[in-house]
C-alpha cells in the first residue's frame, strides 16, 4: 500500500528538505544543503516524488531500494519549472521528471539519502 501525502511531507521536513512553493497538486522541495529540487505531486494516498530526468542513469539503483517503486515512463507537469522540458503533445514542451512511489516512511528516507549520496558522488 502506498504512503500518504501528509506522511511524505512530514518525512521530507524531518530530513530538512525546504519547501519553496505549492501550486495546485505540486510542492517544490530543495534537498538539504543542496540546490537540487524534487517535487511532491498528488494528494491523500495518491502521491509521488519526482526527480530530474538526468538521474535516469541511476534508475536501477534508486528503484532497487526496499519499498521504492518507479512509475514507468516520465511524469509531466508545467509547474515543475526547475526541470527540463520535452515536447510531448504541446509545441512548447512540458517539464518532466522521474516519478517514484513509496510503501512507508523508511523507504522515503532511504530514497532521499541515496539521492543525496548520488549527487554528492558517494
pLDDT in tens, the chain (122 residues): 678 889 999 999 999 999 999 998 999 999 999 999 999 998 877 899 999 999 999 999 999 999 999 989 999 999 999 999 998 776 789 999 999 999 999 999 999 999 999 999 88
Give residue limits of the domains in the chain: 5-120
The residue among 9, 28, 16 whose CA lies nearest residue 116 is 16
The residue among 25, 19, 88 whose CA lies nearest residue 53 is 88
Place of cell 512553493: 21
Whole-model pTM over 0.85: yes
What is the assigned CATH class of domain 5-120? alpha beta
CA distance 109 to 100: 13
Distance of CA 54 to the CA centre of its chain: 12
The residue among 115, 105, 104 whose CA lies nearest residue 14 is 105
Residues pairing with 28 in the sheet: 21, 39
- Annotate 13-34 with b (16+ C-beta within 10 A) or e (fewer): eeeebeeeeeeeebbbbbbeee
Amino acid at each position: 500500500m502506498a504512503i500518504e501525502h501528509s506522511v511524505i511531507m512530514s518525512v521530507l521536513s524531518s530530513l530538512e528538505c525546504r519547501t519553496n512553493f505549492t501550486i495546485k497538486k505540486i510542492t517544490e522541495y530543495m534537498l538539504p544543503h543542496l540546490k537540487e529540487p524534487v517535487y511532491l505531486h498528488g494528494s491523500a494516498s495518491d502521491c509521488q516524488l519526482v526527480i530530474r530526468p538526468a538521474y535516469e542513469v541511476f534508475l536501477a539503483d534508486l528503484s532497487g531500494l526496499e519499498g521504492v517503486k518507479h512509475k514507468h515512463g516520465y511524469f509531466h507537469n508545467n509547474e515543475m519549472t526547475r526541470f527540463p522540458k520535452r515536447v510531448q503533445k504541446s509545441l512548447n514542451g512540458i517539464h518532466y521528471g522521474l516519478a517514484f512511489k513509496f510503501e512507508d516512511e523508511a523507504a522515503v528516507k532511504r530514497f532521499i539519502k541515496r539521492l543525496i549520496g548520488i549527487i554528492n558522488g558517494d
